[in-house]
């Protein structure tokens, strides 16, 4: 049987981790990004399909897989959202206007993450999506904008935040 150990920079053999079944264990970096949704209008009535805040950038690796997106709902509304992601900046839709992407901008779409599963607590909620959305070629990171699928009315001091986890 051949030796599956790797060789380090000094030429010395390095052991490779394996699972209990003997499969090679691979470990990678995990990136977690937390950000408030920019540009939210407080006390304004949103309609389903409206841009929810303004566009933003995410300083993430040029390629990876988005494994989890959390929507931190401090206003306790629990209304479904979509996170539309692009590989480069596109013309943003104004907050609280019907979300619209140009045909040219649509070419840079990485994907859409739907947040539809909610966990409610006494004063707030967490929305979660597990998209397993792989992307590559986003040299400057990813760019995005949220879209609401409900009739939000965010109170002052309750601007939602979101978390993106990339492996």
Q: So what's the pLDDT on residue 13?
A: 74
Q: Which CATH number fits domain 29-166: 3.40.1440, 3.90.1070, 2.60.120, 1.10.3470?
A: 2.60.120
Cα 17 to Cα 5: distance, rounded to the nearest angstrom: 9
The distance of Cα 133 from the centroid of its chain, to the nearest Å, equals 9
Q: So what's the pLDDT on residue 62?
A: 87
How many CB atoms sit inside 10 A of residue 12's CB?
Answer: 9
Cα 125 to Cα 102: distance, rounded to the nearest angstrom: 33
Q: So what's the pLDDT on residue 17?
A: 67
Tens place of pLDDT for every residue, the chain, 167 residues? 455 666 666 777 766 666 667 776 666 788 999 999 999 989 999 999 999 999 999 998 888 999 999 999 999 999 999 999 999 999 999 999 999 999 999 999 999 999 999 999 999 999 999 999 999 877 878 999 999 999 999 999 999 999 999 99
Cα 130 to Cα 43: distance, rounded to the nearest angstrom: 30
Q: Where are the domains of the chain?
A: 29-166
Cα 36 to Cα 54: distance, rounded to the nearest angstrom: 11
């Amino acid at each position: 049987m051949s030796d599956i150990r790797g060789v380090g920079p000094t030429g010395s053999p390095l052991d490779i981790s394996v699972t209990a079944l003997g499969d090679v264990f691979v470990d990678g970096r995990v990136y977690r990004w937390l950000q408030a949704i920019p540009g939210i209008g407080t006390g304004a009535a949103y309609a389903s399909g409206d841009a929810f805040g303004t566009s933003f950038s995410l300083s993430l690796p040029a390629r990876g897989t988005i494994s989890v997106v959390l929507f931190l709902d401090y206003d306790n509304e629990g209304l479904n959202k979509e996170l539309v992601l692009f590989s480069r900046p596109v013309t943003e839709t104004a907050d609280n206007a019907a979300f619209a992407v140009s045909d040219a901008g649509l070419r840079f779409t990485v994907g859409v993450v739907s947040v539809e599963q909610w966990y409610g607590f006494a004063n707030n909620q967490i929305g979660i999506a597990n998209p397993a959305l792989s992307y590559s070629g986003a040299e400057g990171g990813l760019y995005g904008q949220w879209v609401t699928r409900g009739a939000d009315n965010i109170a002052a001091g309750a601007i939602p935040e979101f978390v993106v986890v990339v492996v």
